[in-house]
Amino acid sequence: MRAVFASHNPHKAEQVALLLPSVELVPLDSVAPALVLEEPFDTFRENALNKARLAAQATGLPSIADDSGIEVDALGGRPGVFSARFAGENASDAENNRKLIEELKGVPDAERTCRYRCVAVLVTPDGNELVAEGTCEGRVVNEGRGDLGFGYDPHVIPEGESRTMGEIPLEEKLRFSHRGRAFRALAAMIGSE
C-alpha cells in the first residue's frame, strides 16, 4: 500500500515508517507541502481523522495520521490535545516542558502520574476509515534527561523503567510506547482489510 503521512513532523514520520513497514509512506511535504493540518477538536481521534481526511482529499492518496499527547492526572488530563502548544502557539519543546514542570511545582512525585496517548488513523479517498489507539503510562520528573526523543520525553519515565523516554533508544521505545501500540494495532487492521 502507498499512503501519504499527514504530518509535517519528521520525528513522527521516522517512527511511523518503522512501525508500518508494509506501507510505502509518502511524505506530505513532497506532495502537498502547503497543506495546513489543523487540530481544532478536543479529542485526539477527531484531530487525527481531520488531518487524514484533509490529506486524502488534497492528494487523492490513502492518508495515515495520528494525534498524540500527554495527559497529566494532577492537571486534570492537561495538556492533552494541546500538548504541542501547551506554552502557546509555536511553542518549543523546551517551553512546553518548562510550563509543565512549573504547573507541577509542589505536586508530590507519587501524584505526578501521566500517560502518553496516541490515536492512529487511515483514511482512504473513498471515505473508508480505520482508527486505533495506544497509551503508555508513566510519571513526570522535574529533571529532564536524555536526547533520544522529542516533546516531553526527557521528563517522562514510563512504568517499569528508571530511564526517561528521552534516554531510551527509539527501536526499544517503539515496543511499548503509545505510538508503537497505536500503529501496530493500525497495521493489524490494514493487514486484515
Beta-strand runs (E) in 15-162:
24-27, 63-72, 113-123, 129-140, 156-158
Give me the phi and psi of 116, to 5 degrees please: -85, 140
Helix segments in the chain, DSSP class H: 10-19, 28-31, 44-59, 93-103, 170-173, 178-192
Q: Can you tell me whether residue 159 is helix, strand or coil?
A: coil
| Catalytic residue flag (residue 66) | no
Question: Would you state the cell numbers that stand for residue 92, as one nine-digit string?
Answer: 518549543
Catalytic-labelled residue, pool 67, 109, 147, 153: 67
Give residue 39's Cα distance to chain centre. Answer: 13
Helix segments in 24-140, DSSP class H: 28-31, 44-59, 93-103
Catalytic residues: 67
